């Protein structure tokens, strides 16, 4: 559940706790170890085959507005969020229904479409097996009220832990529910597709194609996806390069002396020599208005992240040359190949 004014709050709207405060959060028991577990997920093709439930555009917009302030969903890729929206199913509860019972196993995260709900917490230290048997008038102290747009129960998507509070409908309610298995399946399937795509792209880059498979996978995990609206500058000629770019979707324009000299599309890359040394950019690259949806989507690899994972690229190139040729490669020119040239579109450097 998101919390205005601070990233971390107690369960279901409890007061914020400062990092400097030596306070044990409510619900944490110090008398025994508490395990955190979750289902295992295999990376297979059927992971993306979750049930889908139709929604109007207005409902999608409301769900997005409810989910995006939440840290758990805000860090996901747009494609993942869209898949999660389709997997959310409608659930209706009558006034007085217990939607979540404290101490029960959590399976669903909920977003309120219509209605209001009250949140109750048992006294500190109440064992889950006792809290789960509490009747309607024994749910503890009321600590919060939820209305339309509220998100709650999201920790059930991550952990198989007992619920930390009870939530009761105070009016007839319409909720959208997302279950843990669908959540984790969609993320696992998306991560698998992302790795396969990025790995195939990197094998086309002369500077990277001789990385070992385990090294490419580590680099895949360091690549971040970034979207640029049409007209926005991705990199500027003359700037010192520290990032390498792979085009995932859309079109990029390469500009020199205020003239568009080439277009880059899905599968093209640019800025690769930033991984070898911080060379000045050879041209300006902007997101083109010709891109579908007026957006350019790129995978971005930072030079310092690459070095932190694998060491300097020059060392890797020397290792490859010594293994295969018994010699070290010549040092490339100190300026990047202009984006759109053969060296930035998968062909070997001349």
The CATH number given to whatever domain includes residue 333 is 2.60.120.10
Q: What is the largest CA-CA distance in the chain?
A: 80
336 assigned to some structural domain: yes
136 assigned to some structural domain: yes
Confirm or deny that 281 is annotated as ligand binding.
yes
> Is this structure's pTM higher than 0.75?
no
Confirm or deny that 227 is annotated as ligand binding.
no
Interval 265-282 mean pLDDT: 83
Dihedral, 273, 279, 283, 288 alpha carbons, nearest 10: 50
Specify whether 162 is located in the same domain as 219. no
Q: Contact 310/319 with Cβ under 8 angstroms?
A: no
Q: Distance (Å, rounded) from C-alpha 72 to C-alpha 32?
A: 28
Specify whether 221 is located in the same domain as 123. no
> Which residue spans within the chain are E strands per DSSP?
89-93, 98-100, 108-114, 117-121, 141-146, 151-152, 166-169, 173-179, 224-229, 233-235, 243-249, 252-256, 259-264, 269-270, 284-287, 295-302
Specify whether 274 is located in the same domain as 168. no
pLDDT above 90 for 272? no
Specify whether 84 is located in the same domain as 121. yes
129-183 pLDDT, tens digit each: 899 889 888 999 999 999 999 999 988 888 888 899 999 999 999 999 999 999 9
Confirm or deny that 46 is annotated as ligand binding.
no
Lowest mean pLDDT among 8-17, 29-38, 63-72, 204-213: 8-17
Specify whether 171 is located in the same domain as 61. yes
Q: How many domains are contained in the chain?
A: 2
Task: Domain of residue 294: give its range.
Answer: 203-344
84-105 pLDDT, tens digit each: 999 999 999 999 999 999 999 8
Specify whether 116 is located in the same domain as 244. no
pLDDT band at 19 (very low <50, low <70, confident <90, very high): very low
Specify whether 123 is located in the same domain as 157. yes
307 assigned to some structural domain: yes
198 assigned to some structural domain: no
Specify whether 142 is located in the same domain as 93. yes
Specify whether 69 is located in the same domain as 134. yes
Distance of CA 238 to the CA centre of its chain: 32
Specify whether 140 is located in the same domain as 218. no
Specify whether 172 is located in the same domain as 289. no
> Which tokens go with 266?
């899905």
Confirm or deny that 272 is annotated as ligand binding.
yes
Q: Distance (Å, rounded) from C-alpha 110 to C-alpha 174?
A: 10
Specify whether 89 is located in the same domain as 154. yes
Residue 258 is given by DSSP the state T
194 assigned to some structural domain: no
């Amino acid at each position: 559940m998101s919390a205005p004014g601070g990233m971390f709050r107690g369960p279901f709207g409890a007061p914020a706790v400062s990092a400097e405060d030596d306070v044990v959060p409510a619900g944490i028991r110090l008398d025994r170890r508490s395990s955190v577990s979750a289902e295992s997920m295999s990376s297979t093709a059927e992971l993306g085959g979750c049930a889908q439930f139709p929604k109007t555009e207005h409902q999608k917009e409301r769900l997005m507005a409810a989910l995006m302030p939440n840290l758990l969903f805000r860090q996901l890729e747009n494609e993942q969020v869209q898949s999660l929206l389709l997997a959310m199913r409608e659930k209706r509860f009558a006034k007085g229904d217990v939607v979540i019972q404290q101490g029960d196993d959590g399976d669903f995260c909920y977003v309120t479409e219509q209605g209001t709900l009250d949140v109750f917490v048992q006294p500190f230290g109440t064992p889950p097996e006792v809290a789960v048997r509490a009747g309607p008038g024994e749910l503890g102290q009321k600590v919060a009220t939820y209305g339309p747009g509220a998100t709650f129960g999201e920790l059930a998507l991550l952990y198989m832990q007992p619920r930390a509070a009870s939530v009761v409908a105070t009016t007839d309610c319409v909720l959208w529910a997302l279950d843990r298995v669908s959540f984790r399946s969609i993320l696992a399937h998306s991560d698998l597709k992302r790795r396969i795509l990025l790995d195939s792209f990197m094998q086309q880059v002369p500077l990277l194609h001789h990385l070992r498979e385990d090294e490419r996978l580590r680099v895949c995990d360091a690549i971040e996806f970034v979207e640029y609206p049409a007209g926005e500058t991705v990199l500027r000629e003359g700037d010192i390069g520290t990032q390498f770019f792979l085009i995932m979707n859309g079109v990029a324009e390469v500009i020199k002396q205020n003239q568009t000299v080439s277009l880059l599309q899905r599968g093209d890359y640019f800025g690769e020599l930033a991984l070898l040394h911080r060379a000045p950019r050879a041209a300006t690259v902007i997101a083109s208005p010709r891109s579908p949806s007026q957006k350019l989507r790129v995978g971005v690899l930072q030079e310092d992240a690459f070095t932190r994972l694998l060491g300097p690229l020059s060392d890797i190139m020397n290792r490859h040359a010594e293994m295969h040729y018994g010699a070290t490669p010549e040092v490339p020119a100190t300026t990047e190949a202009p984006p759109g040239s053969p060296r930035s579109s998968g062909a070997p450097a001349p």
